[in-house]
Homo-oligomer: A and B are copies of this chain.
Amino acid sequence: MGAQTRTVTVKYQSPSAGAREIRFGGRDFVVIAGPCAVESREQLQAAATGVKAGGAVFLRGGVHKMRTNPASFQGLGGEAFKFIAEIKAAAGLPFVSEVTDPRQIGDLAAVVDMFQVGSRNMYNYALLAELGRLRTPVLLKRGFSATVEEWLLAADYIVRGGNENVVLCERGIRTFETTTRNTLDLNSVAYVKAHSPFPVIVDPSHGTGRPELIPPLSLASAAVGADGLIVEVHPDPARSLSDAHQALDFAQFNSITEGVARVLEATGRTLARL
């Protein structure tokens, strides 16, 4: 499995170590972590320090949020860019954030090392075509009701533009089951590894929506052959402005990376380290 996976490399600057890169699709398993939404300089600073200590090599955080309810918090937008740049540089971590409108790309490009396309935008072909014109890596989440075939065709919208740096992300699908927020589909991860050239990571936070299920599904994701994880971690989960119910604290996150490292070792792989 995975032998034919294309490697996607994210290049970034580390003040201490200079030019660095992180590879998706190779022997290393990449853990991305951070808050669902960037809420303040203090919150992101604390998150960056905490997830780095807990084994993450990539920082996540939403600036432009997709919210079902127009009355919900929509994200800080551009005002966050300045302090995000300072925090990621100080931490020496690359940063991924969601783009929800083709017109945001220019500004976001200055602060992100990888663009995230969210589940509800997987079918937003105008947005995918724009990202295809860049060479910046794109994290393409699976639409929560998209078949694997539609997901791979969405990736093709980016690749056809000339940007082959696509990493897929399984984040759970919508089914009749209501016990969990979504049904995490690890069949799709194994299928993508066996039949496509794209690296694929897993989002167990949205995939389960329940904190107590995130650790076991993280281990399962490593065992099934995924190339990484993206986990929602917050300095103070109870105070999170979005998805508070599924954010983990630093201690919970740290125990996940330790367990994942052991499962990876048992399957001949390793956890990516800085």
Contacts and interface: CB of A to CB of B under 8 A. Distances in A.
A179 B188 contact: yes
Interface residues on A, range: 35 or more
A16 interface: no
Contact of A176 (B176, B216, B265): B176
A170 to B, nearest CB: 11
Contact of A191 (B179, B224, B263): B179
Interface stretch (A32-40, A86-94, A205-213): A205-213
A interface secondary structure, majority: helix
Nearest to A128: B70
B68 A150 contact: yes
A95 interface: no
Interface stretch (A3-11, A99-107, A242-250): A99-107
Contact of A222 (B144, B148, B223): B223
A253 to B, nearest CB: 17
A173 B177 contact: yes
B125 A66 contact: yes
A149 B179 contact: yes
A121 interface: yes
Contacts of A208: 187, 190
Contacts of A183: 173, 175, 183, 185, 187
A178 B148 CA distance: 9
Nearest to A125: B66
B187 A191 contact: no
A176 B173 CA distance: 9
Interface in A153-195: 153, 156-157, 160, 173-180, 183-191, 193-194
28 contacts: A1-B216, A68-B153, A69-B153, A69-B156, A100-B125, A100-B126, A103-B103, A121-B123, A173-B176, A173-B177, A173-B183, A175-B176, A175-B183, A177-B188, A180-B188, A183-B183, A184-B186, A186-B217, A190-B208, A190-B216, A191-B213, A217-B224, A220-B220, A220-B221, A220-B223, A220-B224, A222-B223, A263-B263
